[in-house]
A and B are shown apart, each in its own frame.
Chain A
Amino acid sequence: MPTKSLSDPFDANSDLRHDSACRHGHHGPGQCSCFDTADPNLERRMDNGEFATTEPHHAEHKAQDTLDEEALIDRAVESAVVRGMFGHNEINRRRFLQMLGGGTLAAALGSVMPLDKVKAAIKDGGPLEKTKLRIGFVPITCATPIIMAHPMGFYERYGLDVDVINTAGWAVARDMSLSGEYDASHMLSPMPLSMTLGTSSSSREHFIMPAIENINGQAITLHNKHKDKRDPKDWKGFRFAVPFEYSMHNFLLRYLVAEHGLDPDQDISIRVIPPPEMVANLRAENIDGYLAPDPFNQRAVWDEIGFIHMLTKEIWDGHPCCAFACSAAWAEEHPNTFGALFRSLIEATQYSSDIENRAEIAEAISPRAYLNQPQSVVEQVLTGRYADGLGEVKEDPHRIDFDPFPWHSMATWILTQMKRWGYVSRDFDYNQLAEDVFLASECAEVMTELGYEPPSDTYKNFEIMGKVFDYTDPEGYLDSFEIRRS
């Protein structure tokens, strides 16, 4: 494992900023330049603090050289938590430490957060607390990594005996997760956020999302009779279906029509319908179209009912979709099991992301025990070579893609949209919530450990339909929309 030099988050003099040199991992041990890049003005103002003398610097530097792998992970997690506490404001953190000292903060933090367990959760080794697991999935291609890990042996590799349970819908996946019947589950990426906020479930519980399952992978399908209505401006009065309220499907459809000047609550109607019923409703002309997970877009083409109007990657290329989530309490109770599950899913996701493997995966997950779909339909979705329902064969290998890294700024964007459409009205700290739920830092650790290259940061700006989302100003982004509920 490449060692990153990390500064002690409980030290008033250390610099934990993302852009400081030590975050990039190019420096070997002993070469960390954190202290060189720290603001000299700050250093000078710290002359009264107990850590402010220059001696501890050198001592710290020495200690840094000898940090072993385990300590490094500990440090990374502590650092993430402490940074999160101060909203990534270095100056606040240092002031606080100056006043109280690092030990006090560490002790105070330890009393409210089971830090040791969270750390242990991403460490390798140690006996598994539980080897027999039940993981829920909704039978759509987004669940590919969770499903394929079963027939292709990714769970076994980490000593887990997993039953993947075909689940009737996301509300059921949510309830089974809340009730503890599922150890972990396939969820839509907004779900762990809304469950942690307590807006979509009967009880509020802290859920965590260690990894994203898929990016892209959705499409808008319209009924064949609308072949000439390809401009969203013509959709006034259309009836659309999405699979769940707290879904990227809902947020992306709303975003798309609003960008074209239609109010998604006034000018079109959006209903929640389970995906297989969407195809039947489309046939019956009960709905004009849907933004839905595959294979149901491809299925409409297969059954010659509708055509694929656009892939959601044309709205936001690389948008998150489904996710792997579990309750924070479960992860803390079963840290080693959680770690093993985390690793096996990262590996499965990475394996799925290789286009070379997609045909083989389609064969593995099409049978009745998993997706229960014609193999050709699943294969068209996964390989990206598909019939569009308009008479053309299209080729787009990124139609659905798999990337586990849960960017914190993805969560921030989702939260802005939840607020935009009035799903949540109270105020919250966007980035704080994003970091509590999306485990980007931990995912980076696991990816590094498994030999993949995670991004060096956990936030980045995205471009959605040509408009840049600036994660540092979610409220400003929200205010920039003309059509919104809040």
Chain B
Amino acid sequence: MLSNLNFRAGVLSVVILLFFLGVWQMATAPEVLMVQEEELSEYEMLTGGGGQRGSSGIPAPSEVISHAVSELSNPFYDAGPNDKGIGIQLGYSIYRVLLGFFLAALIAIPFGFVIGMSPLLNKAFDPFIQVLKPISPLAWMPLALFVIRDSNISAIFVIFICSIWPMLVNTAYGVASVRNDWLNVAKTHELSKVRTAFTVILPAAAPTILTGMRISIGIAWLVIVAAEMLVGGTGIGYYIWNQWNNLDLASVIFAIVMIGIIGFLLDLSLAQATKLVRYAD
């Protein structure tokens, strides 16, 4: 029954996709091609026959797909600092996201643990967290560039700063809301504070912590694209910016799809990790 449902859902997904692509293809099809027997005049050559393309300027899906095939057939070519394959660009972005994200986890989780366990610290730090949390990560960019003086490290810093808050807040919340019964049991067993933290609180708070991490990586992936568009150089954000510079929308759409797929995979991996630490009461 379940596999049957999965199968039917899969079929429906494909139908929806095909329908969507079909509508798109028809909407962007060039108006009836005027069959021109005579040769193009010089003026028409110089304007690239622009009038013959779809009037909206949006490429048809077939164009995007053929572009995707050519990009994906050689994803790791490297032709100098400004021209690298899509695989290398995605690699740069993933590397930055993971590095910034793990650095943030390294700080946010222990720190969140501490403020979760201490109501005093929790209250004391709360105003700072509340003020810093809503700042758009990209707002840090100019400051980061100025202080750090290195665009790559600045991008990683921006990922770090945007990843840290959801993990910090969720860890603190998860730790603070561990059931009192469990803590009392730990007390009756006369466990030390450190032992209580590792054997009782950590497992109990783990699902909440991982939820925080999942939110963080989602935000980080959103931010890296914008950051790379701003700074340029390498990464999927730069790729989009460079193609935008050429007003090449087929490449931009292809890159958008790639960003979606990678974001989905990153989220999926953390969802799997959440499953590992889930427990039943």
Determine whether B151 belongs to the interface, using a CB cutoff of 8 Å to chain A: yes
- Distance (whole angstroms) from the CB of B127 to the closest CB of chain A: 28
Check A391–B145 contact: CB distance below 8 A: no
Determine whether A424 belongs to the interface, using a CB cutoff of 8 Å to chain B: no
Determine whether B110 belongs to the interface, using a CB cutoff of 8 Å to chain A: no
| Pick from B47, B82, B231: contact of A302, CB under 8 Å | B47
Interface centre among A277, A304, A370 (most CB of B within 10 A): A304
Check B230–A172 contact: CB distance below 8 A: yes
Determine whether A176 belongs to the interface, using a CB cutoff of 8 Å to chain B: yes
Nearest CB to that of A387 among chain B residues? B46
Check B50–A172 contact: CB distance below 8 A: no
Given the known interface contacts A283-B57, A302-B47, A368-B82, the answer about A175 and B232 at a Cβ–Cβ threshold of 8 Å is no
| Pick from B146, B150, B244: contact of A276, CB under 8 Å | B244
List residues of chain A with CB within 8 A of the CB of B145: 175, 179
Q: Interface code A382-423, partner B: CB below 8 Å = 1, 0 otherwise?
A: 000111010111000000000000000000000000000000
Determine whether B81 belongs to the interface, using a CB cutoff of 8 Å to chain A: yes
Check A387–B43 contact: CB distance below 8 A: yes
Check B243–A168 contact: CB distance below 8 A: no
List residues of chain B with CB within 8 A of the CB of A203: 146
Nearest CB to that of A374 among chain B residues? B48
Determine whether B134 belongs to the interface, using a CB cutoff of 8 Å to chain A: no
With the chains together, A301 CA to B219 CA distance in Å? 39
Determine whether A210 belongs to the interface, using a CB cutoff of 8 Å to chain B: no
| Pick from A139, A166, A303: contact of B50, CB under 8 Å | A303
Given the known interface contacts A168-B232, A180-B149, the answer about A369 and B80 at a Cβ–Cβ threshold of 8 Å is yes
Interface centre among A276, A373, A386 (most CB of B within 10 A): A276
Number of interchain pairs (Cβ within 8 Å): 102
| Pick from A166, A369, A372: contact of B232, CB under 8 Å | A166
Which residues of B239-278 have CB atoms within 8 Å of chain A's CB atoms?
241-248
Determine whether B22 belongs to the interface, using a CB cutoff of 8 Å to chain A: no
Determine whether A329 belongs to the interface, using a CB cutoff of 8 Å to chain B: no
Chain B contributes a number of interface residues (CB within 8 A of A) equal to 34
List residues of chain A with CB within 8 A of the CB of B146: 175, 178-179, 202-203
List residues of chain A with CB within 8 A of the CB of B248: 372
The contact size tier of chain A is 35 or more
Determine whether B202 belongs to the interface, using a CB cutoff of 8 Å to chain A: no
Check A376–B46 contact: CB distance below 8 A: yes
Check B82–A393 contact: CB distance below 8 A: no
With the chains together, A374 CA to B49 CA distance in Å? 13
Check B82–A369 contact: CB distance below 8 A: yes
- Distance (whole angstroms) from the CB of A485 to the closest CB of chain B: 26
Nearest CB to that of A392 among chain B residues? B43
With the chains together, A181 CA to B232 CA distance in Å? 13
Determine whether B233 belongs to the interface, using a CB cutoff of 8 Å to chain A: yes
Determine whether A110 belongs to the interface, using a CB cutoff of 8 Å to chain B: no
- Distance (whole angstroms) from the CB of B74 to the closest CB of chain A: 13
Check A303–B46 contact: CB distance below 8 A: no
Q: Interface code A132-169, partner B: CB below 8 Å = 1, 0 otherwise?
A: 00000001000000000000000000000001111110
Check B46–A393 contact: CB distance below 8 A: yes
Q: Interface code A251-283, partner B: CB below 8 Å = 1, 0 otherwise?
A: 000000000000000000000000111011001
Determine whether B83 belongs to the interface, using a CB cutoff of 8 Å to chain A: yes
Given the known interface contacts A179-B145, A302-B48, A303-B57, the answer about A393 and B43 at a Cβ–Cβ threshold of 8 Å is yes
Check A368–B242 contact: CB distance below 8 A: yes
Determine whether B42 belongs to the interface, using a CB cutoff of 8 Å to chain A: yes
Determine whether B29 belongs to the interface, using a CB cutoff of 8 Å to chain A: no
Check B47–A387 contact: CB distance below 8 A: yes
| Pick from B151, B245, B247: contact of A181, CB under 8 Å | B151
Check A304–B43 contact: CB distance below 8 A: no
Check B46–A386 contact: CB distance below 8 A: yes
List residues of chain B with CB within 8 A of the CB of A380: 46
List residues of chain B with CB within 8 A of the CB of A175: 142, 145-146
Which residues of B133-181 have CB atoms within 8 Å of chain A's CB atoms?
142, 145-146, 149-151
With the chains together, A384 CA to B197 CA distance in Å? 74
Check A304–B232 contact: CB distance below 8 A: no
Check A176–B151 contact: CB distance below 8 A: yes
Determine whether B229 belongs to the interface, using a CB cutoff of 8 Å to chain A: yes
| Pick from B43, B57, B232: contact of A167, CB under 8 Å | B232
Check A166–B82 contact: CB distance below 8 A: yes
Q: Interface code A346-357, partner B: CB below 8 Å = 1, 0 otherwise?
A: 000000000000
Determine whether B10 belongs to the interface, using a CB cutoff of 8 Å to chain A: no
Check B82–A276 contact: CB distance below 8 A: no
Check B50–A302 contact: CB distance below 8 A: yes
Given the known interface contacts A179-B149, A179-B150, A376-B48, the answer about A391 and B43 at a Cβ–Cβ threshold of 8 Å is yes
Determine whether B51 belongs to the interface, using a CB cutoff of 8 Å to chain A: yes
| 13 pairs from A and B in contact (CB 8 Å cutoff) | A167-B232, A168-B238, A175-B146, A179-B145, A179-B146, A202-B146, A275-B245, A279-B247, A303-B48, A372-B245, A385-B46, A387-B47, A393-B42
Which B residues are within 8 Å of any A CB, using their own CB? 42-43, 45-48, 50-51, 57, 79-83, 142, 145-146, 149-151, 229-233, 238, 241-248
Given contacts A139-B242, A276-B247, A374-B48, 18 further A-B contacts (CB under 8 A): A166-B242, A168-B232, A178-B146, A178-B149, A179-B149, A179-B151, A276-B245, A277-B244, A280-B247, A302-B48, A303-B247, A304-B47, A369-B83, A372-B245, A376-B45, A377-B48, A387-B43, A391-B43
